[in-house]
Amino acid sequence: MEGLKKDVIRHVVSSLGSDYASKSAYNYYNALALAVRDRLIDNWIKTQRSYYDEKAKRVYYLSLEYLPGKSLMNNLHCLGIYETARKAMSDLGFSLEDLAEQEWDAGLGNGGLGRLASCFLDSMATLGIPGYGYGIRYDYGIFHQVIEDGKQVEQADNWMRVGNPWAYERGQHLFPVRFFGEVKNWTDEYGRLRHTWTAGDTVLAMPCDMLVPGWDNHHVINMRLWSARSDVEFDLDFFNTGNYLGAVEEKIFDEKISKVLYPSDQIEEGRELRLKQQYFFVTATIQDILRRFRKKHQDMTELPQSVAIQLNDTHPAIAIAELMRILLDEDLLDWEVAWDICVSTFAYTNHTILPEALETWPVSLLERMLPRHMQIIYEINARFLREVERVARSEDCGQLCHRDLDHLKQRVSLIQERPIKSVRMAHLAIIGSHSVNGVAALHTELLKARVFDDFQRLYPQKINNKTNGVTPRRWLWSANQPLSRLIASHIGTGFVRNLDELTQLEPLAADPAFREAWRAAKLENKQRLQAYIKRKLMRELHTEHLFDVHIKRIHEYKRQVLNLLHVVTAYNRLRHGQAADFTPRTVFFGGKAAPSYFMAKRIIHAINAVAATVNADSRVNDKLQVVYLPNYCVSQAERVIPATELSEQISTAGMEASGTGNMKFALNGALTIGTWDGATIEMAQAIGPELLFIFGMREDELVSLRQHGYNPMLYYHGDEELREALDMLRSDAFSPGQHGLFAPLVDNLLHGGDRFFVLADYRQYLGAQQDVGRLYLDQEEWTRRSILNAARMGFFSSDRAISQYAREIWDVAPMAGLQNGKGA
């Protein structure tokens, strides 16, 4: 402890240039972070060296998004020095919790996809998998959300303003990134046509490394994020003629590439800068991968034995064309050889079946920005369509006439003709990869049967499932110390590395003393949340209420509106005196809406409007409260999830690819009210469906309802309570003086087809909520179920998921000496 204290003081003085006596929390947080980073860097260097020494096959995880959140507490726990740090900082006059508040969340992602990437890096580090995360170091991450007059207002997330003590910026290792220009043809000595791309513009990519430690194992992997740097400092001509701003203009323009994360989430944002971001990070990454590979290899055909590249959704899919370009134009390989290398190296994860989220890029844009890549994509497509024809003709399917073949080719082509001629990035990713995986069992089945059914017929082995998981280090151990300590006092700490060990809790569910201790841990977390809400929102929570939580991105398919209709109905019953047996509850909502997503923003407004009315109504507000948590982010989730008793997972069946929040809640002992969707299905199977509150129509039932003509008006006319709730929303009951404010929401349900079947599931949802309320009154039974939920969550560790990727897709083994998680 004395060593750590000395290091912190030294950093306050020599790294931060401050007087250690000034006791600024900001300085002491930074100094502590630097002292912790010092303790990681030796192991990081040793880890990197060991990959070379052992000729390890490396995994590269390419993702345009990461959501690490805050690093301090997690890193202290991984290093096993949390208690030491707590005491050291207390000796220096600080509470560790308060210092940790100084850190800004690294919010380099939108939601589940980015957070999954961060969980996966944590698991690779813990399992000893030689892995790297690659992405972009955005200067501005996901916007900061404030709620003003009930509406979402976006503010810039200037997280870099105060510096980032965790990152190493490596300004000396720059990689060139080229755009635009033209392609020249030439003939090589064997008479083969060759191509050279001469670029128009060049930008530089600078690596920033963030160290990701494993749990208690000395294995520290790298998250390498690229930052754009101009290759011109000043244009001296402008400068000399006195045009100072003109002189820096190009520099500013170039560096714009890594300026800001696109805040869209599963909605189309086909902007030129976004494509630039994708290519910028992809080419820098591929250059870096090949630089490392070429240190030990000359023969490029050995690449797939040394390198596995996982594409996190289609955002990095242009990597396939980029690797082809390098192999063809720089290494001068033949097409077939280059293509085999590519397909064996790449694998692709799909995260959504929402049609509006499947990326396409206009051919005209690609031709201009990446002319050589567009040529390569055309060639990939031509060869692929010939192969489709060959397979289709050779198949014993007599019914396949030419017309069908033409349709098949149109459906699977990399190019879609309408509404504008574009490249389908998912098709490029499928064709250029040896593995395509979905992220939960139902999702993968839907990929096979619906979205990519043609590809499933063409490549029956390619599509496979890897159900998502979450890291127990952050989402149980670090976020929920009261519960973790209780668990550890009964079954030891092995569960942090091997989550299956939680099954040892099962017999304890029958022990009244353990149940009481379990409830005490929950209450402690509820009180912590209460204190936080009081500080941030100046609101007093009732900790004896059932804490019912719906936090995630705001999206119509996630159906926050269904939850809101339940709240309005409960409000009406209470007002009308029809709810004598109502179980008091506080309903929390939280989440960000894409700034360009009108309906999602209006939903936030409606939630806040209902909250204002309900909370101000003294007839009901001792029994029902609604809280909107502004600026939902990773660190907020770490506070809220441990305090949650009811987890809302109510997406339209078939629409949520997996969900990972669902896992975090159950792991922390919340019971789930949910639909038969995503990974909630597998959770119900693992836990026992009777221990969750499952309701609503299943995916196949919805398909059939749609086919037979779904008429939301029937539900409206047939259900008095539903009608009352919708009429109130449409009137100015929640928006005094602003009649019609929420009419778009209601019209969308009643006259817009209710694409997400909110009305169809309303009545069943109400029934399930009633069951919840009843069960909550029986605290012993509720606690028993809560314990069993957590005890049966072992499968949903990201360690299990990463082990499957490593074995079944990457063919990568943990580093020797780390298999059992022991440090070298």
Active-site residue set = 351, 552-553, 558, 660, 664
Identify the residue among 230, 352, 586, 652 touching ligand CJB (CB under 6 A): 352
- Which lies closer to ligand CJB via its Cβ, residue 464 or residue 493? 464
Q: For ligand CJB, give the closer residue by CB, 110 or 635.
A: 110
> Whole-number minimum distance, CB 330 to ligand CJB, in Å?
32
Backbone phi, psi, residue 63, to 5°: -145, 135
Secondary structure E strands in 376-427 = 415-416, 422-424
Q: By CB under 6 A, what part of segment 413-452 binds ligand CJB?
A: 439
Q: Of 656 and 754, which CB lies nearer to ligand CJB in the complex structure?
A: 656
Q: How far is the CB of 154 from ligand CJB (least distance, A)?
A: 18
Q: Determine, following the binding rule CB under 6 A, whether residue 351 of this chain makes contact with ligand CJB.
A: yes
* 110-149 binders of ligand CJB (CB under 6 A): 110-113, 116
Residue with nearest beta carbon to ligand CJB: 112
Q: Which range in 14-22, 34-42, 350-358, 781-789 contacts ligand CJB by CB under 6 A? A: 350-358
CB proximity list for 693: less than 8 A, separation 6 or greater: 671, 672, 673, 674, 768, 769, 771, 772
Candidates 657, 692, 788, 801; binder of ligand CJB (CB under 6 A) is: 657
Question: H or E segment at 446?
Answer: helix 441-446
Residues 254-293 close enough to bind ligand CJB by CB under 6 A:
265-266
Residue type, 511: D
Q: Residue 309 in contact with residue 420, Cβ under 8 Å?
A: no
Reading the block at residue 560, the tokens are 């926050």
| Helix segments in 655-778, DSSP class H | 661-667, 678-687, 699-707, 712-718, 720-730, 743-750, 758-777
Which of helix, strand or coil describes residue 648? strand
Q: How far is the CB of 674 from ligand CJB (least distance, A)?
A: 13
- Among positions 460-519, residues that touch ligand CJB (CB under 6 A) are 468
CB of 184 to ligand CJB, least distance (A): 38
**Long-range contacts of 171-175, Cβ-Cβ distance < 8 Å, separation of 24 or more:** 171/206, 171/229, 173/206, 173/207, 174/204, 174/205, 174/206, 174/229, 175/204, 175/205, 175/207, 175/226, 175/283, 175/284, 175/287, 175/288
Say how far residue 186 (Cα) sits from the centre of its chain: 45
Minimum CB separation of residue 738 from ligand CJB in Å reads 32
Does residue number 659 form part of the binding site for ligand CJB (CB under 6 A)? yes
The amino acid at residue 29 is Y
Q: Are 563 and 589 in contact (CB under 8 A)?
A: yes
H/E element holding 346? strand 346-349
Residue 97: Cβ-neighbour burial (10 angstroms; 0-12, 13-18, 19+): exposed
Residue 658 lies near ligand CJB (rule: CB under 6 A)? yes
Cα distances (angstroms) measured from residue 113 to each of 64, 260, 262, 445: 9, 17, 14, 19
Residue (142 or 366) nearer to ligand CJB, CB = 142
**Closest distance of CB 652 from ligand CJB, Å:** 12
Considering beta carbons, is residue 338 or 442 the nearer one to ligand CJB?
Answer: 442
Selected range binding ligand CJB among 208-216, 233-241, 324-332, 657-665, rule: CB under 6 A: 657-665
Residue closer to ligand CJB (CB basis): 642 or 678: 678
660 belongs to the binding site for ligand CJB (CB under 6 A): yes
CA distance 328 to 177: 18
Q: Of 102 and 352, which has the nearer Cβ to ligand CJB?
A: 352
677 near ligand CJB, rule: CB under 6 A:
no
How many C-beta atoms lie closer than 10 Å to residue 84's C-beta? 16
Site residues (CB under 6 A) for ligand CJB, limited to 537-596:
none
Q: Using CB under 6 A, which of the segments 74-82, 206-214, 351-359, 749-757 binds ligand CJB?
A: 351-359
Residues 77-116 within binding reach of ligand CJB (CB under 6 A):
110-113, 116
Handedness of CA 619, 620, 622, 626 (dihedral sign): negative
CB of 642 to ligand CJB, least distance (A): 20
The span from the CA of 445 to the CA of 30, in Å, is: 47
State the residues that interact with ligand CJB by CB under 6 A: 110-113, 116, 265-266, 351-352, 357, 439, 468, 656-660, 678
